[in-house]
Amino acid sequence: MAEWSIAAVLKTAVGLNPPGVRIPPPPPNFFFVSSFYIQLLIWAVVIGAVFGLLWKFGYIARFSAYVGDTRDELKKCAWPSRDELRETTVMVLFTVGLLAIFLLVVDWGILSLIKSIIGGH
């Protein structure tokens, strides 16, 4: 009896005769039906339902009117020329650079002050 259980343990460890219930493989996918297409169909139905509700309650028409009004207002705006845009862009980049240098110096100063107070290197 002891030999049989040792043999069974060795066979199990080697994988020759695995114990337990055999789990059958999943059924084959018929035609093109798979979980991807089912998920795609569910999302299409959900998006269609949301669009239908938005259309029914007039949100689509209001959004379309909003976009049209926004376009009309943007046509009234005075847009800068290329030269003005280039000059203001250079000015903004220069100012950001100066601010970065200023913050670097202030940060270095505060770090040096703290190191001298705590006695760091």
73 with 97, same domain: the answer is no
Q: Name the phi and psi angles at 117, rounded to 5.
A: -70, -45
Give residue 96's domain range: 80-121
Residue 98, in any domain of the structure = yes
Residue 90, in any domain of the structure = yes
Euclidean distance between CA atoms 6 and 12, whole angstroms: 10
pTM: 0.42
Q: What is the pLDDT of residue 25?
A: 72
Residue 101, in any domain of the structure = yes
pLDDT tens for the 121 residues of the chain, in order: 444 555 555 555 555 555 566 667 766 666 555 678 888 999 999 999 999 999 999 999 999 999 999 999 999 999 999 999 999 999 999 999 999 999 999 999 999 999 999 986 6
Euclidean distance between CA atoms 8 and 26, whole angstroms: 29
**Alpha-carbon distances, residue 98 vs 51, 89, 91, 107, 110 (angstroms):** 50, 14, 11, 14, 18
